[in-house]
Amino acid sequence: MAEVKEMDEFHIFSSAYFSAAVNRSQYVKDGKKEIAFIGRSNVGKSSLINSLCGRRKLAFVSREPGKTRTINYYAIQSRRIEEAKEERQDWYLVDLPGYGFAKTSQQNKDSWSDFIGDYLENSKSLMMIGLLIDIRHPGLPIDMKAYEWLRRIAPCLRIIGTKGDKLKRNELVKNKKLLDKYFPGDGPAIAYSSLNGDGRNELLRVIEGKICD
């Protein structure tokens, strides 16, 4: 079989900040498909969006947890060559606010789940949620809680173990297995590193399956 050229494979060639939503009236409803990322504050959601898009400063990254407070939409254009024909796709990556921010009050926690729950219920074009979990700490109660809730309401759920570069190879393999055990998703967990790009191709293939008809 002929080798597929890199530029023929599904890839993102354009990404731009589109809008932010703080309530239902601001959700984007133009029918374009959405892929959303969720996870504990500081787990690396914004970094993953930057890494996927090959950008350094598209989504705002911070050492301080609780940076992303709104639902942020990024307009994405991707392309691939299928049977010598070019196909292009217009869709959104959605960066959701993190949970478990230590300084957050119970009232904020309730409004967080109401807000995200409302987004999930109202997003008819949402194809998949990527739940990000720090691969160094599989099985934290707060992630378990989010997982159980999302498992019930997400259209399709994939687990992404972040900051893989911080573990040695054998620990990475072991913790990836633990992610699959504690958080069974619609397909195996993906070990990711926004720092060195590990897992990026695997995640792009999964997204391709959701975005392309």
Ligand X SMILES: Nc1nc2c(ncn2[C@@H]2O[C@H](COP(=O)(O)OP(=O)(O)OP(=O)(O)O)[C@@H](O)[C@H]2O)c(=O)[nH]1
Between 68 and 123, name the residue whose CB sits nearer to ligand X: 68
Report H helices in the chain. Answer: 45-53, 106-122, 141-153, 169-182, 200-211
- At 82, the amino acid letter reads E
Tell me which stretch binds ligand X (CB under 6 A): 5-13, 102-110, 145-153, 161-169: 161-169
Binding site for Mg ion (CB under 5 A): 45-46, 67-68
Residue 48 · residue 39 · CB < 8 Å: no
Residue 123 · residue 32 · CB < 8 Å: no
For 36, the 3-state DSSP assignment is strand
Partner touching 72 among ligand X, Mg ion, none, CB below 5 to 8 Å by kind? none
Tell me which stretch binds ligand X (CB under 6 A): 104-112, 150-158, 173-181, 191-199: 191-199
For the window 76-115, what string marks contact with ligand X as x by the rule CB under 6 A? ----------------------x-----------------
Q: Which residues contact 78 (CB under 8 A, 6 or more apart)?
A: 10, 11, 12, 13, 88, 89, 91, 208, 211
Identified binder of ligand X from the candidate list 15, 72, 162, 175, rule CB under 6 A:
162
Which residues of this chain interact with ligand X, rule CB under 6 A? 39, 41-47, 61-63, 65-68, 98, 162-163, 165-166, 193-195
